[in-house]
Structures are given as C-alpha cells and as structure tokens.
Amino acid sequence: MKTLLKLLMLLVITTSCSQTKNFKSDIEKAHSVYTNAKDLKGNLEGLKAYEKLFNKYPNEWLPKFWAAYISSSIARIDADNKKTHLSKGMKYYQEAKKMGYDKYPSEFMALEGYVYSMHRLTSKDAEREEYKNLMEKAFQKSVLLDIDNPITQILEGMSISFNGMKDSKFRKVAAGRTLILSSKEKLTKYKDSIFLTPYFNYEMIDAFMPQIQGYLAKQKQ
C-alpha cells in the first residue's frame, strides 16, 4: 500500500513538472509570435497564439493577462474592429483577475488602468472623461498597492514625457525619461523571461524611448 502511494505521489509530481515545463515553452512561443509582429496581421496572430493557451491551461491566468493587454492595444491600430478588441480585452482581464489578482494586485490594477486608457484613446469625446476617471482610479490604486511597481512607473514616465513634449516642457520630458529608465533597470533581471511575468509594458520602453530621446537631443541643438 505504501509503495502504491509513493508511486502515485511520484506520478503527480512528475506530471506537474511536465505541465509546468510545457506551459513555459508554450507561453514563450506565444510571446515570441507577438513580439515579432510587424503589423496588424502579426499582432492578431500574437493574440491568437495566446488565446490558444486558454483551453490548454485553464487554471493559468497569465495567458489571459497578456491577451487582455494585446487585444486592448490592437484597438489602436484596427479602428474598424476596435469595439471587438476592447470588449475582448476587458473580458480577458476580468477572467485573469479572478485567478491571479491575489498574487499581483498592483500589476493587475496597472493593467486595468491601461485597458481603460485604450478605451479612452479610441472613444468619442463624450465617453473619454468617464474612461479617464476609471483609468486614473485604477492607476492610483496600483500605486497605493505598490509604490515601486515598475509597470506603473513606466506608464507614468511615458505620460510625463509625452505631455512634456506636447507642452514644450523640456524638464518634464527629462523627468519622465529618468523614471522610465529607472523602471527598466528594475526589470532587467526579467529580460529573458518577461513572458512569465505580468510586466506587460517592458517592450514599450524600446518602442517609445527613441521618440523621447530624439526630442531631448533636438532641444540641445
């Protein structure tokens, strides 16, 4: 009887380790499809790669977390289907939140704020104020839960920098840049495994920093 129990325990442990290994491999592949996207079609393929993991790993929140981010982001570049993308983004976020919020509350609130920000950017004027309030409320809660959360700091740094460029305020742009780079340093240790974390906006740094750097360099001339 003891031998049977030991064999059953070994089987459970072995199966669990195998599933964990498969999950890491599958989500890395999905993330690679997304990060290598060059256009709308590529982004949609990245989203689909994550969606395929939902049924395969029903107890894992991370695929839906990333899918919420990607689907919401696609709304900016696919105006004809923005409502569908935003709806899916919120749906995936809520489903992921039910499973993973307790472990990463600040990160979830940061994503919630981001999802609302995409609603705001793609909505009509009458709706923007409502989404702005929801966005700011989510970001504020994210900061209250973890003042050093690099996700929120990156988003805040970008907001400061781009608002500074809009208002021609060199110091604001520089301050935002400093906050972004400081947050990037915190995430360096996750660089090769970012797909296993909720740090969804790490890639944003390389995407938007050239614009910020370019503005600062131009002001020095």
The average pLDDT across 203-211 equals 87
124-148 pLDDT, tens digit each: 877 888 999 999 999 999 999 999 9
Q: What is the dihedral of CA 51, 57, 61, 62, to 10 degrees?
A: -60
Given pLDDT bands bounded at 50, 70 and 90, which one contains residue 221?
low
pLDDT, tens digit (0-9, with 9 covering 90-100), for 166-204: 888 889 999 999 999 999 888 888 888 999 999 998 888
With a CB cutoff of 8 Å and minimum separation 6, the contacts of 200 are: 65, 66, 69, 111, 114, 151
Q: Quote the DSSP letter at residue 80.
A: G
pLDDT for res 189: 85
Q: Helix axis angle, 82-100 relative to 62-74, nearest 10°?
A: 160
Radius of gyration of the chain (CA): 20
Q: Which residues of 126-138 are buried (b: 16+ CB within 10 A; e: fewer)?
A: eeeeebeebbeeb
**Residue 6 in 3-state DSSP?**
helix
Whether residue 211 is predicted with pLDDT greater than 80 in this model: the reply is yes
Let me know: does 181 contact 87? Beta carbons within 8 Å.
Answer: no
Two tokens, residue 64: 């839906």
CA-CA-CA-CA torsion sign (114, 43, 178, 173): negative
> Residue 7: what pLDDT?
38
pLDDT in tens, 24-61: 999 999 999 999 999 999 999 999 999 999 999 999 99
Closest CA to 194 of 206, 178, 212: 206
Terminal CA-CA length for the chain: 81
| pLDDT beyond 90 at 63 | yes
